[in-house]
A = this chain, B = another copy of it.
């Protein structure tokens, strides 16, 4: 293998493949990046137990300025290789496989010779049937991930809850995540109906996926196998394992009749919650109290050691019974951030029953649920 290429373009591809490479792996070859050069172009692959990323750079890509002298493949230790490329003196560099898997990296007067590994020993990526595909814009997928991914469980005690549950049926894609204290569910319409599915994708995989996309306007093709999902764009194949097991029936958790409803502008409410949580974070219980009456809505935070805070909240509309309810402000902050700068309606049943948050704009099918904290 021998090629000459633009350093920045290569670095860009490498950092995408590196998202899947962990230095903690127990399989030595997986600390490496697999480099494959064909007459069509250059592909880089990184992989760990959960995800694999394969990038592709076309031989005709102008920015890459790729010269292919000899096709071939090699695996190079990822971290070092990246640091070397980053510090090379010139805009272009040459990579050449010598004997015994040694690799020469030259740029200007600098000549590195590093030890590589035989690409034949690199594990094969899953083979996924690409007939059964869902196509959606990257922007839409990224939005669903940011609207639900934060609500997955961080604890391995119930592994299935560390993923986001995706259900495709009736030309609708539903995504829901819960850590059993709060829940976030988003439904979007899907054109081009394809075969229905019901899968659970690890939250961490989705986060890396979101960060790996480079063009929000592109379409991504989603293909599913028994225990793997592939997200495919023009320049990247992103594989993730699926979580096994039955996701709980979250539909029955969402209440549908309420006694108190109040509308807020999200950024205003979020700022007030952030202030109230400054003191609650220091208390024994991380809770803030919301008090709703027909003419005044107030939030309280308290820490016996530091002091207390109260703030009369600006709201858009309130209906129903007066209420005092306490909750973890961190769940509220996460929920509000997922909505962005819109108006939401918060609906309560009683101080001990979960409450919901939804956009005032009823065209958007997005609901969040937060379990309150009992204070007596």
Contacts and interface: CB of A to CB of B under 8 A. Distances in A.
Contacts of A210: none
Contacts of A312: 109
- Range of interface residues on A (Cβ < 8 Å): 20 to 34
Nearest to A84: B278
Given A83-B278, A87-B278, A275-B87, A109 B306 contact: no
Given A109-B312, A109-B313, A312-B109, A80 B278 contact: yes
SS of A interface (majority)? mixed
A307 B113 CA distance: 5
Q: Which of A77, A87, A112, A309 gathers most chain B CB within 10 Å?
A: A112
Interface in A264-318: 271-272, 274-275, 278-279, 282, 305-314
A110 interface: yes
Contacts of A115: 305-307
A89 interface: yes
A314 B279 CA distance: 59
A154 B159 CA distance: 45
A110 B80 contact: no
A22 interface: no
Given A80-B278, A278-B80, A305-B115, A271 B87 contact: yes
A114 interface: yes
Interface in A49-74: none
A6 interface: no
A111 interface: yes
Contacts of A136: none
A88 interface: yes
A311 B112 CA distance: 9
Interface string A324-355: 00000000000000000000000000000000
Contact of A114 (B111, B274, B275, B306): B306
A80 B111 CA distance: 53
Interface in A105-141: 109-115
A110 B307 contact: no
A99 to B, nearest CB: 14
